[in-house]
Amino acid sequence: MDWLDHVRWDDQGLVPVIAQEAGSGDVLMFAWMNREALARTAELREAVYFSRSRQRLWHKGEESGHTQKVHEIRLDCDQDVVLLKVTQLGHEPGIACHTGRHSCFFERLDGDQWAAVDPVLKDPARIYTK
């Protein structure tokens, strides 16, 4: 059996993926992969996702330079969620979010309002110059 057949792909051929920083344990981002993206990630040891909006593979950092070096690829107990343990590269500290923050999970519910609690490390206008 092909190792990719062990993954429970959804009806669109996708699986949800969580990128977690190997050193700190911080959850950096959530994305999607198809079979080709997961195979490329395993081959390159760099994160390659599937962009649902663009309907194509997306090598993390292809525009920003903020790549993810993959140390481990894990599958949850139901085989329907992938966890990548990564080192976020391209800026110190690592920027995983297109908003210029370390993590995409920068908003916290405070009472009945969402508050941005993590700083912008680099202005997105300076990251995405294309």
- 3-state percent breakdown (helix, strand, coil) of the chain, nearest 5: 15, 35, 50
- Res 119: pLDDT: 94
Residue 129 lies in a domain: no
Residue 117 lies in a domain: yes
Tokens of 105: 């999970």
Structural domain including 110 reads 3-121
Q: Cα separation of 3 and 82, whole Å?
A: 13
Given a cut of 60, is residue 130 above it in pLDDT?
no
Residue 69 lies in a domain: yes
Residue 24 lies in a domain: yes
Domain count, the chain: 1
- Res 126: pLDDT: 86
Residue 128 lies in a domain: no
- Res 1: pLDDT: 62
Q: pTM (2 decimals)?
A: 0.91
- Return the CATH number at 16: 3.10.20.810
Residue 104 lies in a domain: yes
Q: Cα separation of 83 and 104, whole Å?
A: 15
Contact 49, 57 (CB under 8 A): yes
Per-residue confidence band for 43, with pLDDT thresholds at 50, 70 and 90: very high
Given a cut of 60, is residue 112 above it in pLDDT?
yes
Element holding 82 (H helix, E strand): strand 82-88
